[in-house]
Amino acid sequence: MNLIWIYLSLKRATRPLLWFGVGGLLSACAVGPDFHAPAAPTVAQYTASMQPLATVSSSGTAGAAQRFDTGMDIPGQWWTLFHSPQLDAAVRQALANSPLIAQAKATLRQASETLTSQTGATRYPKIDLRLGAVRQQIDTAAIGIPNVPQVGPFSLFNASLNVSYTVDAFGANSRMLEGLQAQVDMQAEELRAAQLTLAANVVTAAIRQATLQAQITQTTQMLDLQHQQLTIMEQRLAAGGIAERDVKNQRTLVAQSAASLPSLQQQLQQVGHQLAVYLGKAPAQLDSQPLDLDKLTLPETLPLSLPSALARQRPDIRAAEATLHQASAQVDVATAGLYPQLTLSGSAGAEQTHISDIANSLNVWSIGLNLMQPLFHGGELRAKKRSAVAAYDAAAAAYQQTVLQALQQVADGLRALENDAQALQARTQAAENAEGSLSITRQQYQAGASVTWLCWTRSGRACSPGWSGPSHSRRALPIRRRCYRHWEVGGGTRLQILVRRRRIDTLCRRAVAQIFSALTRLLFLDWLWTLHFEETVIRFMQKQCLLDS
């Protein structure tokens, strides 16, 4: 009961201080203007020329035209547009198990808890309970009281409640909390960006793994056909039917094809190891099979937000805006440091020589007001303000740069989709022309015309720009690099480029494989023709290939 009485007495004694502090908090005014989000981009379109409403179409797989819809919402799980359960499962596993996501979540919790701690430290008074006991000896003569009898050693017990509160008269604390809230917002956007990046990396790695596996399979099949051709040519060389130069050329071709396999296998293994890390596993724990590219579908309708809405969708722009908000709050905090700081404090308690009496009375209390006005700090405070203003200018420039890069990435993605559709159309026509040339040659053979092995080979190579060889690997490298980024409009648009381009190469490789398969079946006919007629047909097929090109 006595402790309760002490608490109630302290509460009555400090009530004016608390009311004054609340009044100061409510009447606090910030020294700077409130933060306003930067204006949205004013451009009406992403590219200099008018963007077509749809891409061109072509026959065959993945050849349907893709239409852009500016009013369509971008799905959060954009990878589901490929309609691949295996791909969906891989992305979900990565989001659940990746240490990168766990790190981003922990950083967000850290920022949130920092905000909570500083909110409690600045918005509310600090109340502390203090208990103490000392044993001491006082010499009264030493303190100027010689006529008082000397007192022996005694014990002193005390119990008190201490209250302190800093009035936020100029908004320093409120702006500090505003900056911490902006830090929380930035970490939240960083988490969202990490999730989108990880999902894009998983999809890119899975598609690349499937592409390499298909390329290895087709290269192996091509190598088997080339070995068959080499065997027949060696038999013809022994019989005097062809020159040794032709056999050496074929051996060179076989060696080149065989040399491309180790590089492809190395790339496949590296992609598998990287995919395992994305999934939160060690490379030895990866047990999933590569995707089947033929089972992936491209959406015919693509969401395309306006430039003015881009800043509300992309996490990198929103994170840059949160950083700018935090820098703005720091300017006000530095400015408030130039003005007076008002601190209220009070305490109430009891001090007794016997511990049993400490709860019977309230005999010690204090109340105080502390005003501190900086006068001379050697230019420190104004330099801090100028530093904060410079940091704000840097954050504003970084925000503008982020927006410009976002507009550039969207423009690049739109042009890439348009150009890839045209490339698919051209390569599809080239493959159809190659198949048509093969069909004509087959019909000529069936009709009894003179068609030689050399004519077959040269026409097949000249009409097959998509043959899978070392040059193909060099062409694919910049394609993979450009397809790595993923969120031009807040989703996964550019990964569709990767699927489309892989289907282009697959289509051309299949056409070439069909040509070489037919060549192998018809090689034995070369025993029937003379060298003069062979050269005549060669010139004819070269002209035909130039026309087809």
316 within domain boundaries? yes
Number of domains in the chain: 1
Check residue 338 and give its pLDDT: 93
Distance CA 351, CA 131 (A): 10
453 within domain boundaries? yes
Helices and strands (H and E) in the chain: how many: 12, 6
Distance CA 358, CA 381 (A): 47
| Amino acid at site 125 | P
Check residue 526 and give its pLDDT: 37
416 within domain boundaries? yes
> Which of 261, 232, 230 minimizes the C-alpha distance to 248?
230
> In this structure, what token pair is assigned to residue 198?
């990880």
> Which of 169, 170, 167 minimizes the C-alpha distance to 32?
170
pTM of the model: 0.75
Check residue 329 and give its pLDDT: 95
SS3 per-residue string spanning 482-499: HCCCCCCCCCCCCHHHHH
23 within domain boundaries? no
> In this structure, what token pair is assigned to residue 184?
């929380």
Distance CA 372, CA 390 (A): 27
148 within domain boundaries? no
> In this structure, what token pair is assigned to residue 95?
């989001």
238 within domain boundaries? no
Supply the CATH number for residue 384's domain. 1.20.1600.10
Residues in the chain: 549
pLDDT tens digit sequence for 65-104: 888 887 777 777 888 888 889 999 999 999 999 999 999 9
Q: Measured between alpha carbons, how far is residue 200 from residues 193, 275, 494 in Å? A: 10, 11, 10
> Domain of 429?
303-339+378-466
480 within domain boundaries? no
Main-chain phi, psi angles of 72, to 5 degrees: -90, 135
* Helix H or strand E encompassing 457: helix 453-462
326 within domain boundaries? yes
Distance CA 513, CA 257 (A): 13
Dihedral sign of CA atoms 447, 452, 455, 460 in order:
positive
Ranges of residues in the chain whose predicted pLDDT is under 70: 1-30, 61-62, 445-446, 448-549
pLDDT tens digit sequence for 45-70: 888 888 888 888 887 766 788 888 87
